Amino acid sequence: MTTITHVRACVPETMVSVAEALSTQTNVFTDRVGQMARDVDHELGEWKGAGAAAASARTLAHQLDANHLAETVVGLADHYNAFGTELAGYRDVLLTTVVHATEDDGMSVDDAGNVTAPKVPPGNEHPSVPGLVQHYLDTQAAGYQSKIQHLLAQFGDAETRAAKAITDSLQLLDTYQKNPNSDVGSKVKDILAGRAQLPDDPQQLHDFWATLTPAEKDALWKHDPYIGNRDGIPVVDRDHYNRMTLQDELARARAGDPALQGKRDDLEKINKELQHPDRFLLLIDTKSGATTHAAIASGNPDLADHVATFVPGTGSRPSKSMYMDWVDRMRDQARTAGAKNPAVISWLGYDAPPELLDATHRRYADAGAGALDRFQNGLRASHVGAPSYNTVVGHSYGTTVIGDAASHGRTLNADAVVFVASPGTTVEHASDLSLTGVRSEEVGNRVYATAAVHDPTPLYAANRVGKLDDALFGVDSGPAIHDPYNPSGTGSAPPKESGGLDDYGMDPTDPDFRGRSFPSDPGPSSELGLNGAAHNKYWEPGSRSLEGMGHIIAGKGDKATQIPPAPPPVAQTQPVPPPPPPPR
Amino acid sequence: MGTPVEERGDAVLQVDADALRRLGGKLGTHAAEIGQIIIGAKAIMAEDSPVRAVSDRVPEAVRHAFELIGGNINQMATRMTAGAATYSELEQANTDQLRRYAGS
């Protein structure tokens, strides 16, 4: 059992210092080895004699340069950083609580965290008062004890997990030292030969991946250049292998490879966004969908305490935007709201409706819902340390995808969802949604929505345009779009689909939806009041909506709902019935 | 008795021997720098902490791992500075070292 004396003797901040030292010295190492390989190339560049002799030296040098020791040590540093931060957090709160109990409230606290209230002397004038006071103090002591012992347990659990993670890295380092370029093991050989498959389940894949040597990971990447897209693989490895795949595809696209026709602009844009620091490429796929699928994180989600996934809507594709400006603003706003180390991901992992009229069809959401579910499960599986607070934020048609991914037999692995400018979420009530790990009666408190007064898109849901269309023209299922990442299809079929204008359910900002709404600025208006430009103003710096999203991502959604609403706009004309705009 | 170097026909030319010596010096510097890498920081944890037990092994394990590469670079440096007699000897020595490194 973890004791207070034990916690006092630990200085977890020194683990963070170890992480910094490991990172710094690894950089020295990789710089030296890289320079060594360049020196060999340079000095042997004017070689006059037998070419094989120079080639053998180059091969040896580059083989040494291609070592994976640095990645393993960086992984070790990540463990020290994440667990050191987690343990320091528990220690701070624990010791502060002990001080409050003993010094402020006169309690006795033993080493196991048992708390005893001071004894109230008997009173002469009011005999019942001491008993009441004693009862109050005993209750207070019980509260302290519960908190202290819970923190002791958390500290001990985190230490155990940290020790295991560090031990695993050391074993990998040891294996690698014994045989740096060893042949692949039998399990990987079976996969390469097609006799076995990698686990589909993100947690199982994560566990399997942890047993692989760097050489085995390399072999799997050569076998499948999209290995980094697999949900459950640690973020640093996803980024490493996906960047190699990106460079390969970009080179081929620039050379005019017909297989990448129409994808070069997507790849160039992704490559450009990755030049910024602290970016992680979690998904790159030019093959599975009609458009290029990609996901870029700002900050490492595996090490973050708060993680948000952003799902954009109609017309989204990498060549137009990766939305990293919006993503960075959400990350900054979450920090302002109190998140210590947030990460925000731009997820373009589905074929968004290409045009506005396409956005009246639900089949795009149906096809993308499963991929979003697996992506979120993967974030949980690869996360290091205490579970992060995960939020999924959707804009416009992205909210329809999120709602679809959290209902109709599916569950979305998130602690909260945010619907921004929603045309509907495919459900009638917040309680129809399922968030993994959140009790059903609690889900309504984790579902947030906002809409700008001048934004026409939310009126699609508010006026039930799709339902009206069904009533007038009947239901007509459009052609189905398959889920590219799950061709066999799992989960229940969507309940209905119409070919004209699909109904996406109730407006999530409507009180009857029974979620929690938070305010947005009204946005620019027109003579009629509504203005399509208002649809893309939710991430403006200083806006109410951005402030609210920051609170929600930081796990403080109550504060989002307490933001004062914008003053009602001054009416310039008589209100007119809004036209039925298609969702964006 | 072996054939004299001059008669083998693949003796290393002076211009290449000069390049090898220059390269050997550079590689020796890199190897020495890698050999000096130490992880000075230490995790201060309670004596009975499982993190402490495993953390005590980390600095030496990392230094030893880096030294694996540093030692290989040093071998290359030594070979090149010493001056190979023939191109075939140089190629053979590099190939042998690569085989040992790769564990094949």
**Pick from A6, A49, A56: CB nearest B95:** A56
Three-class SS state of A565? coil
* Stretch 139-168 of chain A: residues touching chain B, C-beta under 8 Å: 159-160, 162-163, 166-167
Q: Residue B52 has what pLDDT? A: 95
Torsion-angle region of A277 (φ positive above 0: left; ψ -120 to 50: alpha; else: beta): beta
* Mean pLDDT (chain A, rounded): 88
Cα–Cα distance measured from residue A325 to residue A540, given in angstroms and rounded to the nearest whole number: 10
- The fraction of chain A above a pLDDT of 90, given in percent, is 65
- Please write the tens of the pLDDT for every residue from A239-296: 989 999 999 999 999 999 999 999 999 999 999 999 988 899 999 999 999 999 999 9
Judged by average pLDDT, the poorest of A27-31, A482-486, B59-63 is: A482-486
* A15 at interface of B, judged by CB pairs closer than 8 A: yes
Q: Residue A581 has what pLDDT? A: 55
Cα–Cα distance measured from residue A374 to residue A79, given in angstroms and rounded to the nearest whole number: 24
**Pick from B27, B44, B58: CB nearest A36:** B27
Amino acid type, A123? G
**Pick from B23, B101, B104: CB nearest A40:** B23
**Pick from B62, B80, B88: CB nearest A73:** B62
CB–CB contact B91 A20 (8 Å): no
Three-class SS state of A389? strand
Phi and psi angles of residue A231, each rounded to the nearest 5 degrees, phi first: -75, 130
CA torsion sign, A281 to A283 to A284 to A290? negative
Model confidence at A220: pLDDT above 80: yes
- Please write the tens of the pLDDT for every residue from A490-520: 444 444 444 467 778 889 999 999 999 999 9
What is the four-CA torsion angle of A189, A192, A195, A201, rounded to 10 degrees? 100
**Residue that the structure tokens 């979420």 belong to:** A425
CB–CB contact A21 B39 (8 Å): yes
Count of alpha carbons within 13 Å of A224, Cβ hemisphere only? Answer: 17
Q: Residue A491 has what pLDDT? A: 40
Q: Residue A552 has what pLDDT? A: 98
Highest mean pLDDT among A221-230, A351-360, B13-22: A221-230
Q: Residue B3 has what pLDDT? A: 39
pLDDT grade for A409, boundaries at 50, 70 and 90: very high
Tokens for A397, please give them. Answer: 């048609």
Tokens for B37, please give them. Answer: 């890498």
Amino acid type, B76? M
Model confidence at A218: pLDDT above 90: no
Model confidence at A15: pLDDT above 80: yes
Based on its alpha-carbon atoms, the radius of gyration of chain A, rounded to whole angstroms, reads 28
Does A472 or A166 have the greater pLDDT score?
A166
Q: Residue A256 has what pLDDT? A: 93
Q: Residue A61 has what pLDDT? A: 83
Calculate the alpha carbon distances from A52 to A44, A478, A527 in Å: 12, 63, 78
Q: Residue A210 has what pLDDT? A: 84
pLDDT grade for A58, boundaries at 50, 70 and 90: confident
Based on its alpha-carbon atoms, the radius of gyration of chain B, rounded to whole angstroms, reads 20
CB–CB contact A56 B37 (8 Å): no
Cα–Cα distance measured from residue A245 to residue A263, given in angstroms and rounded to the nearest whole number: 14
The answer to whether A383 and A341 are in contact (CB under 8 A) is no
Amino acid type, A496? K
Cα–Cα distance measured from residue A484 to residue A477, given in angstroms and rounded to the nearest whole number: 20
Give the mutation candidate from A20, A23, A24, A56 for the B interface (greatest B CB count, under 10 A). Answer: A56
The answer to whether B14 and B21 are in contact (CB under 8 A) is no
**A108–chain B nearest CA distance, Å:** 23
Q: Count of CB atoms within 10 A of residue B17's CB?
A: 16
Tokens for A174, please give them. Answer: 């040891």
Q: Residue A389 has what pLDDT? A: 97
Q: Residue A134 has what pLDDT? A: 92
CB–CB contact A33 B10 (8 Å): no
CB–CB contact A50 B91 (8 Å): yes
Cα–Cα distance measured from residue A509 to residue A518, given in angstroms and rounded to the nearest whole number: 8
Q: Which residues of chain B lie closer than 8 angstroms to A11, CB-CB?
A: 44-45
CB–CB contact A56 B94 (8 Å): yes
What is the mean predicted confidence (pLDDT) over A130-134?
Answer: 88
Q: Residue A493 has what pLDDT? A: 40
**Pick from B30, B43, B91: CB nearest A53:** B91
- Please write the tens of the pLDDT for every residue from B26-57: 999 999 999 999 999 999 999 999 999 999 99
Strands of A279-285's sheet in order across? A279-285, A293-298, A342-348, A306-311, A389-395, A416-420, A447-450, A516-517
- Please write the tens of the pLDDT for every residue from B78-101: 888 877 778 888 888 888 888 777
Stretch (H or E) spanning A26: helix A13-43
User: Whole-model pTM?
Assistant: 0.64
CB–CB contact B98 A60 (8 Å): yes
Closest Cα partner for A528 from A487, A490, A575, A565?
A575
Does A289 or A485 have the greater pLDDT score?
A289
Strand partners of residue B81: none
Q: Count of CB atoms within 10 A of residue A341's CB?
A: 18
| Burial label, A495 (beta-carbon count in 10 A; 0-12, 13-18, 19+) | exposed
Closest Cα partner for A424 from A369, A518, A511, A503?
A503
What is the mean predicted confidence (pLDDT) over A130-159?
Answer: 94
Task: Please report the number of interchain residue pairs, chain A to chain B, with beta-carbon separation below 8 angstroms.
Answer: 181
* B81 at interface of A, judged by CB pairs closer than 8 A: no
Model confidence at A437: pLDDT above 80: yes
Amino acid type, A298? S
